Amino acid sequence: MANNDTKICPYCAETDNKVIDSRLSKDGNVIRRRRECLVCSRRFTTYEHIEEIPIMIVKKDGRREIFNRDKYTCQYCGHQSRSLTLDHVVPRYREGQHTWENIVSACNQCK
Ligand SMILES: [Zn+2]
Ligand SMILES: [Zn+2]
């Protein structure tokens, strides 16, 4: 599976980074993500067009796969926990889909 979630650090070109914030643009077409490079600790922003996001429906029992992908870390505050929940980046009422790219791990404070 191609990991489209990986964005390259513009400073050191490393691919290891964590998402510290995800925001949907006003028109609902772009997800703006603040990322922090795990290698050089610098922060950068990526813009992801929703239509470019591959539709990968998460299976009913896919929670663990999402948590594994996110390394059991809340994608909003970076808190590591075994009791995370799933959060839709684009909310359901805005037709956010139950897909791999639209679901992130979140702790109970951030969901
Ligand atoms: Zn870097
Ligand atoms: Zn959190």
Q: Where are the domains of the chain?
A: 17-106
Q: Region 3-22: what's the mean pLDDT?
A: 84
Angle made by CA atoms 31, 58, 39, in degrees to the nearest 5: 50
* Residue 60 and residue 34 in contact, taking contact as beta carbons nearer than 8 Å: no
41 alpha carbon to ligand 1 midpoint, in Å? 6
Ligand that lies nearest to the alpha carbon of residue 38, given by its number in the listed order: 1
Which ligand is nearest the CA of 44, by number?
1
Between the CA of 35 and the centroid of ligand 1 the distance, in Å, is: 10
Is the pLDDT at 72 greater than 90? The verdict is yes
Predicted confidence at residue 3, as pLDDT, reads 45
Q: What is the pLDDT of residue 54?
A: 59
